[in-house]
């Protein structure tokens, strides 16, 4: 009973502390869909609960990250979530009525949504999580060369999509 309680306390503390950051990661991984990001994070946290005694002292966040990435790829493969790749970004918010930060985030999420799940995951892990190529490959469960290829292709595509937002220097 006491063990169970301490387990629950430690788990709740971790979740409360890392919820916001993990939710943002989840949202980037699914291309901005808030509800789907919540579902994925909940699923990852439920899985974390069952392995918590084993990995609480090690790297629970790395575990959640891996679960999120794989669940995001799987869910994108399994179901249709209403995403449809288009040439032009749809329904861009007007710059006058919302803040610039929101506009920028919306454009970023819309651009990420156009990437295939693996490329999106590689880009997010590499540039948002600052993971090395080896670590990205470990999370994706693929060779380093494949992870590097996913990341470079994803960045190349984002470069095209966001060319008007991020202007090249020089």
Residues near another protein (CB under 8 A):
12, 15-16, 19-21, 23-24, 28, 38, 42-43, 45-46, 49-50, 101, 104-105, 108-109, 123-124, 127-128, 130, 155, 158-159, 162, 166, 168-169
Q: Of all helices (H) and strands (E), which one includes residue 100?
A: helix 100-113
Question: What's the min distance (Å) between Cβ of 65 and another protein?
Answer: 14
16 versus 80: smaller Cβ distance to another protein: 16
45 versus 67: smaller Cβ distance to another protein: 45
Question: What's the min distance (Å) between Cβ of 69 and another protein?
Answer: 15
Residue 105, token pair as written in the block: 């985030």
Q: Are 8 and 53 in contact (CB under 8 A)?
A: no
48 versus 73: smaller Cβ distance to another protein: 48
Question: 109-134: string of b/e by CB count within 10 Å (b at 16+)?
Answer: bbbbbbbbbbbbbbbbbbeebebeee
15 versus 142: smaller Cβ distance to another protein: 15
Single out the residue of 86, 47, 53 nearest to residue 69, CA to CA.
Answer: 47
């Amino acid at each position: 009973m006491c063990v169970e309680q301490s387990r629950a306390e430690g788990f709740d503390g971790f979740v409360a502390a890392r919820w916001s950051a993990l939710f943002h990661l989840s949202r980037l991984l699914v291309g901005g869909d808030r509800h789907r990001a919540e579902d994925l994070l909940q699923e990852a946290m439920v899985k974390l609960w069952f392995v918590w005694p084993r990995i609480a002292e090690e790297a629970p966040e790395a575990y959640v990250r891996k679960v999120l990435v794989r669940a995001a790829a799987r869910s994108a493969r399994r179901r249709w979530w209403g995403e449809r790749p288009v040439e032009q970004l749809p329904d861009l918010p007007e710059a006058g009525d919302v803040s610039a930060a929101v506009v920028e985030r919306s454009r970023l999420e819309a651009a990420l949504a156009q990437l295939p799940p693996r490329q999106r995951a590689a880009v997010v892990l590499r540039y948002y999580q600052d993971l090395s190529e080896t670590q990205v490959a470990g999370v994706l469960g693929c060779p380093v060369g494949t992870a590097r290829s996913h990341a470079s292709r994803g960045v190349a595509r984002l470069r095209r999509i966001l060319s008007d937002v991020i202007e090249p220097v020089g």
